[in-house]
């Protein structure tokens, strides 16, 4: 066995990989410079927040799309835009650490917000939010709904304000209320548990015994490694590198939001107009000629026209959905390709880091045993 | 190619249509579509997609149909003893159906798009007829004002719109084997009228000539055209 002869090579390879990934991400990261620096452990009282792309809430049965007025492609886009708007709201409060939008849930995140779109028709927005911290404690598990309010978007410089700002602010307030009830020790414990869960996933041989999962699904950090533990330092370096790449992904969501904001607003305005048309259609239906005999031309024509206007309104909405897709598809596709590329890099890097760290642990343990 | 339309009397034409559509004695208490016509296995039985232009050399003239309806009512009034003047009431109740049928069948051009699930018949100055089938099962378009549902009679597509107040509009689409011609039979009926009113039209399929520019609809920039390819 010549494992001990391989360890310098491992270390060099690890360093090269980390440098490569960090370089790759640093040149493109916008969010990294705009969010608080991600430490390995949060400062007491400030938790880092991770928001995976929302569940679009699209039924599996396509036959109900029309009845529920769901346009799948647009819902998928909304599922990418809404987490970003929530992120902006949380950042603005200044009460959180780094707030990141990610494509996949991160099991070891300090605080993670899972969202599902329940209803989005331009006038009303309803989302379900579940907030879970790294210990497995659920902070929120509830519906939030609100009606569009144009007052929030009157100022041009409010690029990231939405007509549903009140809803996002309500979520932020609800989260803050839970956080306010927690002691610094509890918050610190969440940060430690998050880090040790991350370490135990990346290098289970070294840190698997540092964290424990209870029968009820909650997690607990049993102990912490020494600050100068070389393996722990590597874990911190890797996590920070991963954060850097995540911030690049996050920046892509920001770019997408900027690109689509105007088009999405036009779409939303149209949808609201169509709601007005529907109201007018109902009014038209009620304005049946009073003295028209049943079966007469006036009566029959009114029946036919009432349905005709109703259908034209619905079909106009379909046409607008297609127009929206035509306008944004290339932007969304480009963004999705880039994010998939970044995700691929992270995934590949993670596998390599995991393998290298496990090998390094084996080498170092062997050397330690030899030394003793 | 379709055979030349036989000069059948309106009653025979009507009863044939009633049979095909599952109309029992044309009574509106009965469902307009028999259950089997709502289902099919595999692919849709026929392909109606394309642009269709009215063939004015064939099909019904509304005045002629009105005349035939007049004679039919006269024959009924005569009760087998020849013709008798139809009542003013009958004629005044049939006239709105004729006007509506004429209005509905006025468009000279139809654009039909067809996907795995849906057939959309676009008509100028009117709403597009929608036939939705999921898993071979017809799905109705319900609104507060009417119910629209489709079915198949062999490879013929039947679209039925039932309005709240006893009014119904039935379209029957029939495409020739070579897909060059389309026949559309439109029947407007009401429980207030003495008989339904049916108009038949024929259409030729034509290919819209591709222009110099390729255009797509967008939301904020409206129609966007390019000399190159515009993939959404």
Please give the share of chain B, as a percent, with pLDDT higher than 70: 80
Burial of A174 (0-12, 13-18, 19+ CB in 10 A): middle
**Does B209 touch chain A if contact means CB atoms closer than 8 Å?**
no
- Residue A81 is predicted with a pLDDT of 86
Has the ipTM of the complex gone over 0.85?
A: no
Pick from A300, A306, A308: which is nearest to B126 by CB?
A308
Mean pLDDT for the stretch of residues B182-201: 95
- Residue A223 is predicted with a pLDDT of 86
pLDDT of residue B225 exceeding 90:
no
Domain hosting A17: range is: 3-371
Q: Which CATH class is domain B10-226?
A: mainly beta
Nearest Cα residue to B32 out of B45, B43, B51, B19: B19
Nearest Cα residue to A51 out of A190, A338, A250: A250
Number of domains in chain A: 1
pLDDT of residue B3 exceeding 70:
no
Pick from B95, B96, B219: which is nearest to A320 by CB?
B219
**Does B99 touch chain A if contact means CB atoms closer than 8 Å?**
yes
**Mean pLDDT per segment of 10 residues, for chain A of length 372 residues?**
47 54 42 36 73 92 78 86 92 92 88 95 89 96 90 57 87 96 92 91 86 89 86 85 80 78 76 81 84 89 93 86 80 77 72 74 71 64
Q: Which residues of A touch B (CB under 8 A)?
A: 61-63, 66-67, 262-263, 266-267, 270, 282, 285, 294-297, 299-301, 303-304, 306-308, 310-312, 314-315, 319-320, 322-327, 329-330
Q: Assess contact for A157 and A261: CB atoms under 8 A.
A: no
Contact A326 B232 (CB under 8 A): yes
Contacts of A263 in chain B (CB under 8 A): 219-220
Q: Assess contact for A54 and A127: CB atoms under 8 A.
A: yes
Overall residue count recorded for chain A in this entry: 372
Domain ranges of chain B: 10-226
Question: Which residues, in sequence order, are CB contacts of B178 under 8 Å at separation 6+?
Answer: B1
Nearest Cα residue to B202 out of B3, B67, B28: B3
For B9-61, the pLDDT digits (tens) are 333 333 433 443 443 333 333 445 555 566 677 788 999 999 999 999 999 99
Instruction: For residues A182 and A191, give the distance between their C-alpha atoms in angstroms, rounded to a whole number.
Output: 13
Question: Which residues, in sequence order, are CB contacts of B215 under 8 Å at separation 6+?
Answer: B223, B224, B225, B226, B230
Q: Is this structure's pTM higher than 0.80?
A: no
For A89-119, the pLDDT digits (tens) are 999 999 999 998 888 898 899 999 999 999 9
Residue B26: phi, psi to the nearest 5? 60, 15
Task: Say which residue, A247 or B210, is predicted with more confidence.
Answer: A247
Distance, CA of A241 to chain centre:
19
């Amino acid at each position: 066995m010549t494992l001990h002869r391989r360890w310098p090579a491992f270390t060099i390879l690890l360093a090269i990989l980390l440098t490569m990934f960090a370089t790759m991400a640093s040149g493109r990261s916008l969010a990294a410079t705009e969010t608080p620096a991600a430490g390995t452990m949060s400062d007491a009282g400030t938790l880092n927040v991770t928001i995976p792309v929302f569940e679009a809430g699209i039924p599996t049965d396509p036959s109900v799309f029309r009845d529920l007025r769901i346009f799948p492609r647009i819902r998928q886009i909304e599922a990418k835009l809404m987490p970003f708007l929530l992120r902006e709201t949380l950042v603005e409060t200044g009460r959180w650490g780094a707030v990141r939008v990610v494509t996949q849930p991160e099991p070891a995140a300090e605080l993670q917000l899972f969202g599902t779109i329940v209803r989005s028709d331009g006038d009303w927005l309803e989302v379900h939010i579940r907030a879970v911290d790294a210990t497995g404690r659920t902070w929120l598990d509830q519906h939030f709904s609100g009606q569009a309010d144009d007052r929030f978007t009157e100022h041009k410089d409010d690029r990231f304000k939405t007509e549903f700002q009140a809803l996002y602010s309500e979520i932020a307030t609800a989260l803050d209320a839970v956080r306010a009830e927690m002691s610094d020790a509890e918050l610190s414990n969440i940060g430690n548990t998050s880090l040790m869960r991350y370490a135990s996933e990346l290098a289970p041989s070294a840190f698997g015994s540092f964290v424990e999962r209870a029968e009820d699904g909650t997690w607990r950090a049993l102990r912490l490694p020494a600050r100068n533990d070389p393996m722990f330092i590597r874990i911190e370096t890797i996590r920070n590198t991963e954060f850097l790449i995540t911030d690049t992904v996050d920046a892509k969501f920001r770019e997408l939001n900027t690109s689509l904001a105007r088009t999405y607003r036009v779409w939303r305005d149209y949808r609201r107009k169509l709601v007005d048309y529907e109201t007018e259609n109902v009014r038209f239906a009620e304005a049946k000629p009073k003295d028209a005999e049943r079966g007469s031309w006036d009566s029959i024509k009114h029946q036919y026209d009432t349905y005709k206007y109703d259908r034209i309104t619905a079909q106009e909405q379909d046409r607008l959905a297609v127009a929206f897709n035509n306008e944004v598809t290339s932007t969304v596709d480009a963004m999705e390709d880039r994010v998939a590329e970044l995700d691929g890099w992270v995934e590949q890097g993670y596998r390599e880091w995991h393998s290298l760290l496990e090998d390094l642990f084996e080498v170092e343990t062997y050397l330690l045993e030899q030394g003793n | 190619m379709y055979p030349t339309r036989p000069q059948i009397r309106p009653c025979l034409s009507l009863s044939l249509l009633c049979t095909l559509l599952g109309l029992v004695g044309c009574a509106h208490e009965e469902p307009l579509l028999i259950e089997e016509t709502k289902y099919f296995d595999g692919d849709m039985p026929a392909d109606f997609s394309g642009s269709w232009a009215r063939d004015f050399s064939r099909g019904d003239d509304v005045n002629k149909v009105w005349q035939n309806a007049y004679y039919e009512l006269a024959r009924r009034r005569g009760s087998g003893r020849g013709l008798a003047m139809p009542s003013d009431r009958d004629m005044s109740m049939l006239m709105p159906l004729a006007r509506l049928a004429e209005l509905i069948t006025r468009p000279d051009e139809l654009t039909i798009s067809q996907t795995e699930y849906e057939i959309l018949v676009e008509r100028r100055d009117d709403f597009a007829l929608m036939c939705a089938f999921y898993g071979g099962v017809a799905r109705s378009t319900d609104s507060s004002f009417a119910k629209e549902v489709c079915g198949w009679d062999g490879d013929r597509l039947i679209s039925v719109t039932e309005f709240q107040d006893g009014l119904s509009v039935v379209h029957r689409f029939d495409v020739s084997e070579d897909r060059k011609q389309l026949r559309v039979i439109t029947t407007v009926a009401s429980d207030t009228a003495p008989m339904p009113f049916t108009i038949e039209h024929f259409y030729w399929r034509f290919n819209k000539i591709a222009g110099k520019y390729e255009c797509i609809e967008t939301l904020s920039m409206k129609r966007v055209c390019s000399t190159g390819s515009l993939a959404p």
